[in-house]
Chains A and B, each alone.
Chain A
Amino acid sequence: MERQFTEEIRSLRLGDGETFHGEGILAVTKALLQSGVSYVGGYQGAPVSHLLDVMVQAREYMNELGVHVEACTNEASAAAMLGASINYPVRGAVTWKSIVGTNVASDALSYLSTAGVMGGAMIIAGEDYGEGASVALERTHAVAMKSSLWMLDPRPNLPSIVRAVEKGFELSEASNSPVIVDLRIRACHVQGHFRATSNRPAAMSKRHPAQGPAPFNYDRLSHPPAIFRQEKLKAEVRLPAARRFIAEHKLNEVFPGDLDDIGIIVQGGLYNNLLRSLSLLGAADPFGASRVPILALNVVYPLVPEEIVGFCAAKRAVIMLEEGQPEFIEQEIATILRRQDVQTRLNGKDLMPMAGEYSAEVFVGGLAKFFAQHAPQLDTSGGAKWLAKVADTRKRATQLLGELPPRPPGFCIGCPERPVFAALKLAERHTGRPHISGDIGCHAFATFEPFSMGNSILGYGMSLASSAGVGPMMAGRPLAIMGDGGFWHNGLLSGVASNMLNKGDAVLVVMKNGYASATGTQELISSPPKEARDSTGASASHADRTIENALSGLGVGWVKTVHTYHVAEMQRALTEALTTDYKGLKVIVADGECQLERQRRVKPENARKLSAGERLVKVKYGVDEDTCTGDHSCIRLSGCPTLTVKDNPDPLRTDPVATVIDGCVGCGLCGENAHAATLCPSFYRAEVIQNPSAWDRLVAGVRDGFKGIFA
């Protein structure tokens, strides 16, 4: 695991009246325990990974409370897990990244929401929308509407978030519907504090098991004919119950202001940005007092028509601030107002951009237009000045620096996946470039320079499935890349089993780095066993064979496991897979442990050795600057951040030479590449010995002696 949460786990134990300090997503974790959950599950992904990571690390305390924690193999499993709350009065929560996770979960969510729940069921969705998101930009709101799941979008501060969780469970139970708590990336990472309450052990849990199962109740099965009734229940019972609860408990908030002939309706999650923008526009003070009345929708679905009408009725105009497209809320408000014949002017997407993140800059621009139309008396010049200043800074920066080159992320130093793409570049010289179906995971960085490999990405674990249509249309075999994460998430079936069933002729590379690395090196079913990790600093991923066993279990006849750092061997395997006469799926398991995880073991161990005065050998690579030809093929085959250029020390040569800077972890790829691609022989390997032994000293002495002779 990427991070240790020892401190954070301590704060999970806080009791009544104590103050919790910390991150938004950890506040959610605490709020779950305060709400008496019986079980928690999920699938990792930014920005909500920490929720589950903390729970997994706090297993002992969870056991004490009787909370069952499950690290699910995908979001569909997690959503299905909430099925426990259909028949029993147990509260449960699961978490994942959205929209992708919600997509994967959506079938289970449909069934769950149709059946309805008895115990509170909650989904903590990390809404990854906007610039900074790593996934396709879509709104979770769509799924809430589709399946009649209620969606909370609390104002991004800890007390509001905690209240949303606690009230969310009550709402879920009051309306027999699952609830989504939607948290944008900044809400997950916002720091703050709230007054804790003591954790509540659940009445029914693994510590207090039920005596027997619930009596059989056909109406709780999502199966015809019960589904027809359930669909009506959703519309006629659960929806009104939810609206009643939302109104009675005042989950949405109205903030008054003196300019009360206009108003702003905003998704709760955008409230902070809105306030910042209003203050820039001179319509709010820095403490959050706005001159324009605001209706903050901490529940964005369902809306309470009476609240909307009540807020809008006496106003000339309101603006709906809703991030992302399409404008679900604005359309619903238009319907509500039109039905009730409220003639208030409704602005929204006409003044604001339809798509993309609503940053403060975007808000200031849109609100300035709104105020110009409906509150011309308001002096918004502050906002215009600020916008001008931002634009000016940007312009000046460009003038001073020139167009900055984009700096896309890339593989870590020593990443075991980089050599695979180096090998593929070499193999291409003989086989031609194949169509490459990319996937989600660290290996997707290969789509950037210097590799530019990958023609499409169709979702996590979907690479092999996505090559099914391409394969038969191409003269050469396509290549699918998949991580071990994606393999277990769904790729084993959607890809491998499907290709086998259809007698496909595909080539698949499975990156076996041992963890779900891109999300924080969470464990997988095929993570190396603890013993392998404890005993050595070397790559441990080879110690687990579950991937290979699963492949042969499915009857894959061509499987080769190749250590990724052996570039030449990997090149041969790739060439063979792409050109062999063997008809059928060919799988290369590219074995090499995630370097981050490996270094997490190696570094403390090295530190210990150093301080204990023990002998320590560190491998470093370097470039002999006299031999380096300066053509930088080595860089184009690697992209390692520590393999870079420097001025040529030779005054007669002007091209910069390659150099290995500090930070090299000694993976050896640069040397391997130079060897496999027969580049210039400029790479050397050095062993840096700290706390040398007598023998080391003797050898070094002899060497120095020789050097002295020849010097």
Chain B
Amino acid sequence: MERSFTEEVEKLKLGDGETFHGEGILAVTKALLQSGVSYVGGYQGAPVSHMMDVLNDARDIMDELGIHIETNASEAGAAAMLGASINYPLRGAVTFKSTVGTNVASDALSNLASAGVKGGALIVLGEDYGEGASIIQERSHAFAMKSQIWLLDPRPNLPKIVDMVEKGFELSEASNTPVMLELRIRACHVHGTFAAKTNRAPQFSRRHALESPEFDFGRISLPPSTYAQEKHKIDVRWPAAVKYIRERKLNETFPGDLEDIGILCQGGMYNVTMRALQQLGLADAFGASRVPIYCMNVTYPMVPEEIVGFCAGRRAVLVVEEGQPAYIEDAVQAALRRNDVNGVKVHGKGMLPLAGEYTGETVLGGVAKFLEHAAPRGLDVGRVRAAFEKLTAPKTRAAELLGSAVPARPPGFCVGCPERPVFSAMKLVERELGAYHVSADIGCHTFATLPPFNIGHTVLGYGLGMASNSAVNTMFGRRTVTIMGDGGFWHNGLTSGVANAVFNKDDGILVIMKNGYSSATGTQELPSSPQHSRHKAQDMSMERAMQGLGVGWMKTVDNYNVGSVAKMLKEAMTSDYQGLKVIIAEGECQLERQRKLRPETARQLAAGERVVRTRYGVDEDTCTGDHSCIRLSGCPTLTIKDNPDPLRTDPVATVIDGCVGCGLCGENAHAATLCPSFYRAEVIQNPNAWDRLVAGLRTMITH
């Protein structure tokens, strides 16, 4: 695991009246325990990975309370787990990254939402929308509407987030409907405090088991129950939810003196909206706004009475709703039209961009435009304009001064990453056999799509690389290659990809990156991880699983041995074998390896024990300066420096500090027959007598 949460786990024990300090997503974790959950599950992914990670580290507390925690194989599994709340008064929560996770979970969510729940069911969504997101840009809101799942979008501060978790369970139970709690990346990572409550042990749990199951055909998502459930959603659950939301005042109205206008915002957009108002001189630093605000901490279902109540009598309102399409704005317009409130002009996607993140700057621009356009009574619009221009001027000036845009700095493979050598090998094979189509997947290996490799034609989702290759592979005279990580393999790739290819007798090549962990999300454990916590099974292997499915051609290679990886790829490309060919590219995640290695090395050093570290370097006299080695690697520690030779002007390659000694640069030089400038050095700390003797002799000779 990337991080140990020992300190955070202690905070989960806080009781009544104590103060919790920390991160938003950890506050959620605490709020779950305060709400008396019986079970928790999920699938890792930013920005909500920490929730699962912390709970996994907090097994003792969980056991004491009787809470079951499950690391689900996928978000679909996590959503299906919430099925426990259909028949029984059990509260449960699962978490995943959205919209990708919600996509994967959506079938189970449909069935869950159709059946309805008895115990509160909460889905904590890490809404990864906006610049900084790592996934396709879509809104979780769509799923709320599609499946009639309520969507909470709390103002990003800890007390509100905690309150919404607690109220979320109550809402879920009051309306027999699962509830999603949407947290954007900043809400997950916002720091703050809240007054904690003592954790509540659930009524039924591992420690107090249910005695007998309940059979109720009405709770099964099969016809004819589904017809009744669909009507129940509209006739019973929806009104019950709206009633609860109104009575418990989950949405907030903040008054302001500019009463002929107003802003309706998603709860999650509140901070950024307030900041814009403050910068334009319309709010103070404590949140008192001159513009009235209707803050929707529940963005679905909406409460038409509240919307009509807020909008009626105003001349213009602005809807601050991130992402497209404009579900909320449409619903506001429809509610106003139905209630014949025609005097108020609704702005939204005209003033603000239809798509993309609503950053501080974006909202500032939108709010300024709205104010200018609406020109509320009692506001000097000129001063707003001036404030806006003053804020934006420095950026314009900076752009003028810098001239062209700064070069993009995309992320890349870590120093010593075991996946990099595979792409070096792929480049070598391409040189020999010509270009081939590569279906990429989600994972660290997707970094290969960036320079210097630029390998990969498509990305169709986690674990779906092989499936995305199924039509492509028939369209060429040459075989195509698919890349998949071990994470994607266990998520769905084994069935959607491998089984699919075997069943359809596809003639593709699959390279599986076996680095041992779900690395990109924080090196969580997978079924085939080399080391396991005691709560996890130990004997699952990808190789045996594929043998079981009847994969007939499977080879394992050591990634750092670039020559043999290239050879194996060539063999797969040219073999007469018709059918799926799998290459398992083995090399442990370097981050995880270093996490084990570093403390051990530190211990050895402190104990005065002998430590040998391998480093690589470039002989600057031999280096030809053509930098083929860099184009085959992209390792951040393999870079350039000024040529020390005054007669040569091209910079030479150099290995800077940070090299972990994986040896790829040397391997590449060898496999690609580049110039012989790489050397390998062993740095010996706490040398023994023999080391000293050898070094002494060497020094004598070299002098």
Contact = CB atoms under 8 A, between A and B. Distances in A.
A83 to B, nearest CB: 4
A100 B461 contact: no
B497 to A, nearest CB: 7
A517 to B, nearest CB: 16
A134 B222 contact: yes
B110 A41 contact: no
A214 interface: yes
A51 interface: no
Contacts of A339: 333
Interface stretch (A180-188, A272-280, A449-457, A619-627): A449-457
A503 B535 contact: yes
A599 interface: no
Given A138-B147, A554-B548, A77 B83 contact: no
A490 B492 contact: yes
Given A81-B467, A137-B230, A494-B77, A456 B86 contact: yes
A474 B209 contact: yes
A427 to B, nearest CB: 14
Contacts of B229: 136-137
Interface stretch (B66-74, B258-266, B390-398, B399-407): B66-74
Given A137-B114, A455-B214, A468 B81 contact: yes
A553 B459 contact: no
Interface string B81-114: 1111111101010000001100110111111111
Nearest to B73: A498
A107 B111 contact: no
A204 B475 contact: yes
B642 to A, nearest CB: 31
A497 B214 contact: no
B495 A92 contact: no
B80 A114 contact: no
Contacts of B410: 225
Interface stretch (B28-36, B129-137, B659-667): B129-137
Nearest to B347: A339
A326 to B, nearest CB: 5
A137 B209 contact: no
B457 A220 contact: yes
A107 B226 contact: no
Contacts of A488: 495, 499
Interface of B is mostly: mixed
Nearest to A554: B545
B342 interface: yes
Contact of A503 (B233, B333, B537): B537
Contacts of A432: 212
Interface stretch (B15-23, B500-508, B686-694): B500-508
Contact of B41 (A223, A225, A350, A468): A468
Contacts of B87: 435, 455-456, 470
A80 B137 contact: no
A334 B332 CA distance: 9
A502 B490 contact: no
Contacts, number: 497
A604 interface: no
A546 B550 contact: yes
Contacts of B494: 492-493, 497
Given A87-B458, A143-B146, A494-B77, A106 B103 contact: yes
A58 interface: no
Interface centre among A74, A434, A465 (most CB of B within 10 A): A465
Interface string A222-233: 111101101110
Contact of A457 (B222, B535, B536): B222
B632 to A, nearest CB: 16
A602 interface: no
Given A135-B226, A498-B73, 20 more contacts: A39-B471, A77-B467, A87-B437, A213-B438, A216-B455, A221-B456, A234-B355, A338-B342, A338-B346, A356-B231, A455-B214, A465-B108, A466-B81, A467-B83, A473-B204, A474-B209, A494-B77, A501-B525, A525-B499, A553-B544
B108 A462 contact: yes
B226 to A, nearest CB: 6
A552 B548 contact: yes
Nearest to A454: B220
Contact of B458 (A106, A221, A232, A551): A221
A493 B73 contact: yes
A497 B104 contact: no
Contacts of A206: 474-475
Contacts of B439: 83
B481 to A, nearest CB: 10
B219 interface: yes
A519 B290 CA distance: 61
B356 A224 contact: no
B5 interface: no
A136 B110 contact: yes
Nearest to A302: B325
A392 B324 CA distance: 48
Contact of A110 (B81, B109, B215, B461): B461
Contact of A458 (B41, B79, B356): B79
7 contacts: A103-B109, A216-B456, A220-B458, A456-B86, A458-B79, A458-B221, A495-B73
B545 A218 contact: no
